[in-house]
Structure 1
Amino acid sequence: MLDNAFVMVCIILLINIVYVSFFTIRMILTLKGQRYLAAFISIFEVIIYIVGLGLVLDNLNEIQNLIAYAVGYGAGVLVGMKIEEKLALGYTTVNVITTDLAGGLPNELRNKGYGVTNWLAEGREGQRLMMEILTSRKSEMNLYNTVKDLDPKAFIISHEPKAFHGGFWVKGIRR
């Protein structure tokens, strides 16, 4: 089976897509503090890596294997990113700035289950309502769409918080 050049290219391509996808997920889990799961995934990652690299090194005279390895690596990055998007691990803090000072936007968001802290701020063109909202990454797009529906001109920016302490959200956050 491995004597067929086309089969060999397909196997190398597939192995590298799987390897790099695992690598991407492991790195994200490491950054999110999921050490033990990341370590467990790395066991399979390194086995897949060694098998794929071994196939290429055993057949260095076949340029198509090297090309398949490189293409598989690039495709694996894309697949790994798609998997991470679907997993959407962690939380995000979304800052919303609006000129609608009396529109009730914070309460609308609270009624939809979001934790909102709001205050008045001063912008270049006068007073603004500033809101800080913590949400899971899985709910992030829904929050954006809700804010845009309620105030299409709202300024929205987000960032990933590193640690949590206090507040009503902390009880529901799994470490």
Structure 2
Amino acid sequence: MEVGLLVSIFMIQIVYVSFFTLRMILTLKGQKYYAAALSCVEITIYVLGLNMVLKYLDQPISLIVYALGYGLGVLVGSWIEEKIALGYVTLRVIVNNPESSVPNHLRDLGYGVTTWIGSGRDGERLMLEVLARRKNQKKLYQSIMDVEPRAFIVTSEPTRLHGGFWAKATRR
């Protein structure tokens, strides 16, 4: 089996699985039209790659290359998704000091912050809820750690947003 064909199978799998990963993420993020358009390209690539492998089923190297391309495609698709980081995250932050400067620090950086006083085992705590774009998550986390290194932080991904500080920005 020629090397050029093996390289083609390998590359087709990487592209196909990367597209597959991105399509799934777009679907989960509610971007159904982009997902549908991407799926047209994805299935075309898939059929081409599968056709190549099926022609050479008697040569195990083609199946091995196909499988390796699939595995690398998962990694590439995940890497691309991390770079585009679609959507939003909510950080729930708990700090021991109810007078902490974290809320104002984050507001100065442009984040919307809601605060309230909570009750913990050892007394009052300052509770914060912060919404941010996923691509800003690491920067936000580090901004909190710079001011309150012992903060307790829980991250989640909201599925719907309505009203408040982010209402106009999320409609775009």
TM-score in same-fold range (> 0.5) = yes
Match of 2:29 in 1: 32
**Letter paired with 1:35:** K
CA RMSD of aligned residues (A): 1.0
Identity %: 53
Decide which of 15, 18, 22 is 1:18's aligned counterpart: 15
Q: Distance in 2 between matches of 1:100 and 1:11?
A: 59
User: Mapping of 1:111-122 within 5 angstroms?
Assistant: 111-122=108-119
**Letter paired with 1:174:** R
1:163 corresponds to 2:160: yes
Decide which of 76, 81, 85 is 1:88's aligned counterpart: 85
Q: Distance in 2 between matches of 1:84 and 1:52?
A: 23
TM-superposed deviation, 1:174: 3.0
Decide which of 64, 69, 73 is 1:72's aligned counterpart: 69
TM-superposed deviation, 1:103: 2.2
Q: Distance in 2 between matches of 1:86 and 1:164?
A: 22
How high is the TM-score relative to the length of structure 1?
0.96
**Letter paired with 1:61:** D
Match of 1:49 in 2: 46
Map Cα deviations across residues 26-46 of structure 1 (whole Å, 9 max, x no partner): 000000010110000000100
Gaps of 5+ in 2: none
**Letter paired with 2:63:** L
Q: Distance in 2 between matches of 1:115 and 1:70?
A: 45
Q: Distance in 2 between matches of 1:174 and 1:57?
A: 46
**Worse-superposed segment, 95-104 or 13-22:** 95-104
Match of 2:151 in 1: 154
Q: Distance in 2 between matches of 1:35 and 1:102?
A: 44
Match of 1:141 in 2: 138
Q: Distance in 1 between matches of 2:73 and 2:119?
A: 46
**Worse-superposed segment, 99-108 or 72-81:** 99-108
How high is the TM-score relative to the length of structure 2?
0.97
Gaps of 5+ in 1: none
**Worse-superposed segment, 124-133 or 37-46:** 124-133
Equivalent pairs, count: 172
Map Cα deviations across residues 115-163 of structure 1 (whole Å, 9 max, x no partner): 0000011112221111000000011111000000001000111100011
Structure 1 runs, 4 residues or longer, greater than 4 Å off: none
